Amino acid sequence: MFLNHRTPVLPTPEQALRGRPVPEFTVPSRHTVLGNPLVGPYPEGLEVADFALGCFWGAERKFWQTEGVWTTLVGYQGGYTENPTYEEACSGLTGHTEAVRVVFDPAVVSYEELLKLFWESHNPTQGFRQGNDVGTQYRSAIYTHSPAQAAAADASREAYQKVLTASGHQEITTEILPAEGRPFWPAEAYHQQYLDKNPAGYCGIGGTGVSCPIGVAPAEG
């Protein structure tokens, strides 16, 4: 979303902005494409997955276009600031990523298939950047909601690293951490389904062109 020529550095908890006990804005009630509520509680049987893969505008569209995804919303996750604003996230002083929450029906689309989409939709080897977007908020991350998700995420990272290495790419820098203790703070209304409201808007998402084996074949031991 903007080009920052400074070397990004994650803040410590002591350096991070404190935030606020309540948000400064409200979140729209429904998804502009899927028509379902953005914020839970969600219907029984659905599961939640959280991903960060660069600019959340293009990342969210990748997931809402996937069959079996019930709703998506964008926000800030993985840092320290409570109820952050976009400007605060862009300052580099929150520690948050630009994240996408994906609520999905596992009977239609598996978590492994969402992982495959995640890996193939960005370059997970770039550290604190994604293409021309530079900053700690653009780092690659998976925030897991269960031991099963954590195991699947770890296995997919290992499998994808093998094919990336074989294709001449560097080491994956994606952080895989529990969502517990890392709240998802919804972003401002104008960020939600941004590319539906602005079809010609900036995307910033691009993969390596290397296919991820998770979702179509088991990882080799």
Computed over its alpha carbons, how large is the radius of gyration of the chain?
16
pTM: 0.93
pLDDT at 199 over 80: yes
The phi and psi torsions of 49 (rounded to 5 degrees) equal: -135, 140
Of 63, 70, 77, which is closest to residue 38 (Cα–Cα)? 70
Whether the pLDDT of residue 162 is over 60: the answer is yes
pLDDT of residue 1: 43
Of the candidates 55, 90, 203, 212, the residue annotated as catalytic is: 55
Hey, what are 155's tokens?
Answer: 């296995």
Give the separation between CA 114 and CA 103, rounded to whole angstroms. Answer: 11
Is the pLDDT reported for residue 215 higher than 90? Answer: no
Is the pLDDT score of 221 beyond 80? no
Across 157-174, average pLDDT? 97
pLDDT surpassing 80 at residue 216:
no
Edge-first strand order for the sheet with 175-178 is 175-178, 140-144, 47-53, 97-104, 69-77, 185-186
Position 218 scores a pLDDT of: 39
Q: Find the range with the poorest average confidence among 59-68, 120-129, 190-199, 212-221.
A: 212-221
**What distances in angstroms separate CA 38 from CA 27, 109, 196, one per listed residue?**
8, 19, 15
On the 0-12 / 13-18 / 19+ scale of CB atoms within 10 A, 26 is exposed
Mean per-residue pLDDT, 109-121 = 98
Q: What is the 3-state secondary structure (H, E, C) of the chain?
A: CCCCCCCCCCCCCCCCCCECCCCCCCCCCECCCCCCECCCCCCCCCEEEEEEECCHHHHHHHHHCCCCEEEEEEEEECCCCECCCHHHHHCCCCCCEEEEEEEECCCCCCHHHHHHHHHHCCCCCCCCEECCEECHHHCEEEEECCHHHHHHHHHHHHHHHHHHHHCCCCCCCCEEEECCCCCCEECCHHHCCHHHHCCCCCCCCCCCCCCCCCCCCCCCC
Mean local confidence (pLDDT), 24-38: 97
Q: Which two tokens stand for residue 62?
A: 């990748």
Q: Is the pLDDT of residue 11 over 90?
A: yes
Mean pLDDT of the chain: 93
CB 204 within 8 A of CB 54: yes
Instruction: Indicate if the pLDDT at residue 64 is higher than 90.
Output: yes
Q: What per-residue confidence (pLDDT) applies to 205? A: 85
55 is catalytic: yes
Q: What is the mean pLDDT of residues 19-29?
A: 96
Asked if residue 217 has pLDDT above 50, the reply is no
Token pair for residue 84? Answer: 């952050």
Q: Rounded CA gap, 128 and 69, in Å? A: 28
Q: What is the pLDDT of residue 203?
A: 86
User: What is the rounded average pLDDT of the residues 9-37?
Assistant: 97
pLDDT, position 214: 63
pLDDT tens across 131-141, in order?
Answer: 889 999 999 99
Strands 175-178 vs 140-144: parallel, antiparallel or unpaired: parallel
